[in-house]
Structure 1
Amino acid sequence: MKNRVLCFLNTLFLFILSCDSQAVIEPTTSGYTCSLNQTISPCQTYVYYRAASPDYLDLASVGDLFSVSRLMIANPSNISSVSSPLVPSQSLLVPIQCSCNRINSSLSISYAGLNYTIKKDNTFYLVSSIQFQNLTSYQSVEVVNPSLVPTNLSIGENVIFPIFCKCPDKAQVENQTKYLISYVFQPFDNFSSIARKFGSTTQAIIDVNGNNIKTFQTVFVPVSRLPVFTQPVVAAAAPTAPVSVKTEENKDKVRGLSVGLGICGLLLLLVCGLWGYRETSMKKKRGKYKDEEKPQVIQKKKAVDVDLMDDVSDCLDKYRVFGIDELVEATEGFDEKWHVQGSVYKGYINGILYAIKKMKWNACEELKILQKVNHGNLVKLEGFCIDPEDGNCYLIYEYVENGSLHSWLHSSRSEQLTWKMRLRVAIDVANGLQYIHEHTQPRVVHKDIKSSNILLDGHMRAKIANFGLAKSGCNAITMHIVGTQGYIAPEYLTDGVVSTKMDVFSFGVVLLELVSGREAINEEGKVLWSTVDGILEKKDGKMERLIEWMDDSLRTGESNLLDSVANVVSVAIACLHRDPSRRPSMVDIVYALCKSDDLFSDLSQDFSPGMILAR
């Protein structure tokens, strides 16, 4: 009871400090501005978070808040066991994916966008200051969610909370700065104490933040490596009180009762055995053995259920486990009218539309990989369901409204993707691949990058889907070649070499699809990447050859468009080099595509409300 009171007072004290600070000193309102030309974006970084009573005293709850797994917090925070309880104010380092996000034509903000579902009595201010401990501000939440009315939030509504962060610029990287850790300045802090805490220097912190930091404002701490926190040891349970005489008497009574129950149990077993023997004898006489197999079948199903749950036990803390009845009801028994494509259905559960992927039990590896990733350009896994009756597993994803890039490029639809939209899609996919290649440990190789596995949301932003073939770890050799014709890298096809460079090759094919509007492999079996040779080799007639090769809908005659297209084609050709060691990394590709973006003016003109097309 005493500990609970102390925890409550501690939380109340932090809340009062937060409210008082907000009344006197406003934190950065719209966020921290950024420029893609100056920083390495996106990047993985960390925020400093304090365990707080009553809701955030275990890694599972903190992981749910930041959409990461317990292990992703435990390792950098120097916590040996993911199941260990936390104590109030315990130091945690939580990984986030930071990027420079364009808000409008004149404003870009650096943040990690975290999805949060509004609960009863939530407001932008309370969630920002209490749950996220002032790592963002309510003003910034309003800027990032312009369509929401802060005074009229509905329970269950999804809100993006922009967690303040920064990526190091090129000069900082050259100066051995690996991370800029987001830390909220406390009333008892000074630059020296923060520098000691994180293994940085006072001058380095001032160089990044200036020397006029106010209470509850975010400080970005430059470090070359993560600090090692000394974690508190949770007190052991109190020793057992001495055994009294009365307790001994009670034990004697319990022993007597146990003996009596044991005798009754033996008699019951004897009766059951005699009854079982009688039933078996009668079945043998009648020649019926089918019913004897039923207990074995039931036991086998139970064993399957246990095995499946053991396989995904590490995922249970992060993802919602749906019931098969929920999925059947949502899809009306997997009726054809709810079918999307392949083994994917859609359906409403509690008023929210989900994509439901039905598969035989081979999803363990996919679940383990998806547990490690969290990025805006990857389709988000919301949960899963295991049905031991038929051995199926169901993965439940966010529903991405506008379908696949393949359908936009190759189906007979009246709407056409403009070049600005295609370029934005290319940059989004490149950012997603850079994340899984550079910011996961071990690195993840998708192995099936293609236009049908790239989905477009309501704002025509791209998300990579389908990690069914993904491999955690690279530079491996496999004899089991899987993938889609037209996208498979030569070294994988011939030698089974699995590396991030095979994703780079497939991405090069997607770039060619975006430029040409053609399929990756035509009806005659000719691959698209073999047709691009020579287009940019000679300067004479280069633009004429490029125009002829481009999608008809892109032939507008604008010179800056052609320059941008030529730059993207050159990136694609580099991605398609037969020698994987000579293909660029996704970091280089993101940088080059952003240059193409600069060549073709401001993307934001293309995303007026009238251009947001939903199926």
Structure 2
Amino acid sequence: MSSSVSSSLFCVFTLFFICSCYLIGAQQPYVGKTTSDCGNQHNSSSGLGYFCNGGNRSCQTYVTFRAIPKYNTVSAISTLLGADPSQVSLINSVPETTTFDTNKLVIVPVNCSCSGEFYQSNTSYVVNEGDQYSLIANELFQGLATCQAIMNQPGNPIPTGLIPGQRISVPLRCACPTKNQSDSVVNYLISYLIGKGESPQPISQRFEIDEDLLRRANSLSQQDIIFPNTTLLVPLDKPPSSSQTVEPPTPPPSPPVTPPTTTSPSKSSKKTWVYALIGALGGTAFLLVLGAIIYCRVFRKSKKKLEPALLPKSFEANEKAVDKKIEESQDFLDSLSDIAQSIKVYKFEELQLATNYFSNSNLVKGSVYKGTIKGDFAAIKKVDGDISKEINVMQKINHSNLIRLSGICFNEGFWYLVYEYAANGPLSSWIHHKRKDGMFLNWTQRIQIALDVAAGLNYLHNFATSSHVHKDVKSSNILLDSDFRAKIANFGLTRSTQGHDGQYSLTKHVVGTIGYMAPEYLENGVVSTKLDVYAFGVLLLEMLTGKAVSVLYEENKHLSDLLSAVINDEEQVGLKNFMDPSMEEKYPSEFVIFVVRIIEGCLKKNPDARAPMDEIVQLLSRTLSNSLNWELSNSSVE
């Protein structure tokens, strides 16, 4: 009896000891991809900052920053992050006059202290034209701050109230060690900016710490994935050094494993060898049979499903196209393990339950269904065709004005894409049709939507992993969320601009929507970011007039003539006929003329003469700011 009790006490003590060891390292929840969801605070995932649960309410610590143009010197980085230039130069072992190479990892000493429930290191930033909280947090500060945390700072304006020249507070993500961590000789928690393609293992190797210690400090399991432009807390016993900012060399390939040499086998070893051979052959035969069954039951079905659409009896050539399509789907299925790193792979039964078995009552439009997954709405699109290019693009982009792909499924020859749900549907339904509910978009809402689209395109052109062209910007591909904020959708035609100097490329396969396609693309197949600029100009014209692009071309041989007539109409007699009649409220005519001039710049025949998207973002930001001020002054007068 006493032995049994002693054994039980030993097990309990052991379990307690293991849990205590875990708690020594446990500190903060990892923020994950919630950084792009600016509309929600995500307190439980440290969206507002690391929790103030350390042994001290303030401490000296460090953050990392990757040098980018304009912020690539000791002085500029120090100013941006509110640090002492002399300390930055000292910790990085460089002179204060140093200019870092782009993407060079820089260590920055900061003072971290509790502000309410969260730790933060305080700095400030002067707003430029075109800035939004998501751009400031995720691109300028690279994830050292979140848009949720910036918006939560006392005194900072609401998202639509950012005015160029205005100074805002920016809380940098930092933390101090817990008492348990300090007791286990963790003296610093470094806010490390995760780079593209990084995982916990190489990060722990960079700082020469145990990977489990790194994971425990961030409450990460072995299955959790980390993402670029987010932070990990790196627990260290001493300050970081400049040697840890050097990118580690690519590890050499593992040498081939050579079988061990054997001496003369005995009878028993011969039998063991025979048993192993039989087992290997049996296992191989089992896998072949299993593979044949899977092929017959899944991919034969998918072929049958595809044949009615792709195999007209008079065209035998189409049979090859079907076989190729199935092979491509097979190849893509084989790569789902890579996709699953950032996109959830759903079972078909899950999507059936989410959409009430794809009932008509859940059908939104075409092949898009509204679903409910874990209490949240989702848009589920059924696709018959190759989607690998779209998936590859959507894995590389992350911006609040681009629709987010959260999941994928393949079943009987069809793909199912799970997107975030945009409650107010496509922009086209708000500007081309008289709505039964009598609602309409007012002037300020339209300018905000235009700015959102421009910001999304600017991200694709200038801030994505490589410059991309959407190639299908149109009103039906712009979705509006519950706050009437715009999200660009449908990336099926999106492609990289890898070509001459990375600026443009050529294609013989011209696809897109008539009316939105730029002349150089239609005539010569030239693909560049200026395609999106041209299409954006047409979209902006639709938003002002309320007319579909087909109607605009029916009424005007050249859209430029329509714009010139408005700009040159000194008495603005034709302005009322030009504008969407659903906007019955008054709006300053000079605002309209300013936007018409932006459209005129977008529709230049020479692509080089068209304004770049970053410039358009600045112009629309100025227009939105002026419009909001005008609205405010009008409401105060009333």
Report TM bin, short chain. Answer: 0.5 to 0.7
* Structure 2 CA distance for aligned equivalents of residues 404 and 330 of structure 1: 22
Q: Which of 376, 381, 384 is 2:408 aligned to?
A: 384
The amino acid of 1:540's aligned partner reads E
For residue 18 of structure 1, report the CA deviation from its aligned partner.
5.6
1:562 aligned residue: 589
CA distance in 2, matches of 1:523, 1:596: 24
How far, CA to CA, are the matches of 2:627 and 2:593 in structure 1? 11
Does 2:461 align with 1:469?
no
User: What is the rounded CA distance, in whole Å, between the counterparts of 1:592 and 1:548 in structure 2?
Assistant: 25
Instruction: List per-residue Cα deviations over 1:188-242 (Å, max 9, x = no partner).
Output: 888xx77x479xxxxxxxxxxxxxxxxxxxxxxxxxxxx64337979999x99x9
Matched, 1:585 2:599: no
1:517 aligns with 546
Q: Which residue does 2:127 correspond to in 1?
A: 36
Q: Distance in 2 between matches of 1:310 and 1:457?
A: 34
Matched, 1:496 2:536: no
Amino acid at match of 1:73: K
For residue 574 of structure 1, the aligned residue among 601, 613, 631 is 601
CA displacement 1:326-366 (0-9 Å, x = unmatched): 22332233222211112211112333221111111310000
Deviation for aligned residue 1:478:
1.8
The residue type equivalent to 2:414 in the other structure is: N
**What does residue 622 of structure 2 align with?**
595
| CA spacing shift, 1:261–1:342, aligned 2, 3 Å | closer
Pair 1:73-2:108 in alignment? no
In the alignment, which residue of structure 2 is the partner of 1:417? 441
> Aligned-residue CA RMSD in angstroms?
5.0
1:350 is the counterpart of 2:350: no
**Correspondence 1:394-413 to 2 at 5 A:** 394-413=416-435
**Cα contact 2:129–2:622 (8 A) shared by 1:** no
Which secondary structure state, in structure 2, belongs to the residue aligned with residue 554 of structure 1?
coil
Kindly tell me: are residues 264 and 567 of structure 1, through their superposed partners in 2, closer, same or farther at Cα, counting changes over 3 Å?
A: closer
Q: 1:263 to 1:9 in 2, by over 3 A?
A: closer
Distance in 2 between residues matched to 1:556 and 1:264, nearest whole Å: 79
Q: Which moved more, 1:527-536 or 1:371-380?
A: 527-536
Q: Paired residue for 1:26?
A: 114
187 and 519 in structure 1: CA distance in 2 versus 1, 3 angstrom threshold: same
Residue 130 of structure 2 contacts residue 618 of structure 2 at CA under 8 Å; is this kept in 1?
no
Aligned pair partner of 2:570 in 530, 535, 540: 540
User: Aligned pair in 2 of structure 1 residues 256, 369: CA closer, same or farther (>3 Å)?
Assistant: closer
Q: What are the residue-to-residue correspondences of 1:330-345 with 2, within 5 Å?
A: 330-345=354-369
Q: Relative to structure 1, is the Cα distance of residues 584 and 327 closer, same or farther in structure 2, using a 3 angstrom cutoff?
A: same
1:529 maps onto 2:559 in alignment: yes
25, 28, 37: which one aligns with 1:11: 25
Give the CA deviation at 1:377.
0.4
Whether 1:229 and 2:247 are equivalent positions in the alignment is yes
1:368 corresponds to? 392
Taking the aligned partners of 2:565 and 2:281, their CA distance within structure 1 comes to: 91
Check whether the contact 2:27–2:219 (CA below 8 A) recurs between aligned residues: no
Alignment partner for residue 415 of structure 2, among 377, 393, 400?
393
Structure 1 residue 254 and structure 2 residue 272: aligned?
yes
SS of the residue corresponding to residue 447 of structure 1 reads: coil
Please give the secondary structure, in 1, of the residue aligned with 2:381: strand
Given that residues 424 and 603 in structure 1 are in contact (C-alpha distance below 8 angstroms), is that contact kept between their aligned partners in structure 2? no
Task: Report matched runs for 1:108-507 at 5 Å.
Answer: 130=218, 196=242, 228-230=246-248, 251-252=269-270, 254-255=272-273, 257-258=275-276, 297-298=296-297, 301=300, 304=327, 306-310=330-334, 312-387=336-411, 389=412, 391-413=413-435, 414-473=438-497, 475-507=504-536
Gap change, CA 1:445 and 1:39, over 3 Å in 2: closer
1:486–1:520: 8 Å Cα contact kept in structure 2? yes
Q: Aligned-pair distance for 1:185?
A: 11
CA distance in 2, matches of 1:526, 1:429: 26
Deviation, 1:587, is: 0.6
Q: Kindly indicate whether the alpha-carbon contact (under 8 Å) linking 2:129 and 2:621 is maintained by their aligned counterparts in 1.
A: no
Classify 1:131/1:298 alpha carbon distance in 2 versus 1 (closer, same or farther; 3 Å): closer
Deviation at 1:323, TM superposition (A): 1.2
Gap change, CA 1:86 and 1:229, over 3 Å in 2: closer
Structure 2: how far apart are the matches of 1:296 and 1:505? 46
CA contact (8 A) 1:91 1:229 kept: no
Per-residue CA deviation, residues 5-53 of structure 1 (Å, 9 max, x unaligned), is: 9984772489999612347831576976544337866363535799xxx
Task: Say whether the 8 Å CA contact 2:553–2:559 is kept in structure 1.
Answer: no
- Change in Cα spacing, 1:525 to 1:86, as seen in structure 2 (3 Å) is same
**One-letter amino acid of the counterpart of residue 600, structure 1:** S
Determine the C-alpha separation between the residues in 1 that align with 2:250 and 2:509: 48
Which whole-Å CA distance do the structure 1 matches of 2:403 and 2:525 have between them? 27
Find the aligned partners of 2:617 and 2:54 in 1 and give their Cα distance. 41
Report if the CA contact (8 A) 2:470-2:532 is conserved. yes
SS of equivalent residue, structure 1 residue 593: helix
1:544, CA displacement in angstroms? 3.1
Q: Distance in 1 between matches of 2:380 and 2:415?
A: 10
Counterparts of 1:508 and 1:454, CA distance in 2: 14
Distance 1:455 1:322, change over 3 A: same
CA drift of 1:492 comes to: 1.2
CA contact (8 A) 1:346 1:356 kept: yes
The CA deviation at 1:438 is: 0.4
Tell me the amino acid that sits aligned with residue 346 of structure 1.
K
Distance 1:499 1:263 in 2: 55
| CA spacing shift, 1:421–1:518, aligned 2, 3 Å | same
Structure-2 change in CA distance of 1:232 and 1:22 (3 Å): farther
Letter aligned with residue 363 of structure 2: H
Please report how far the alpha carbon of residue 248 of structure 1 lies from its aligned counterpart in structure 2 after TM superposition: 8.0
Change (3 A) 1:364 1:545: same
Alpha-carbon shift at residue 506 of structure 1 (Å): 0.6
Q: Which runs of 5+ in 1 are unaligned?
A: 51-65, 93-126, 133-160, 165-181, 199-226, 270-292, 609-615
Amino acid at match of 2:273: R
Q: Paired residues, what number?
A: 436
Relative to 1, partners in 2 of residues 1:13 and 1:383: Cα closer, same or farther, differing over 3 Å? closer
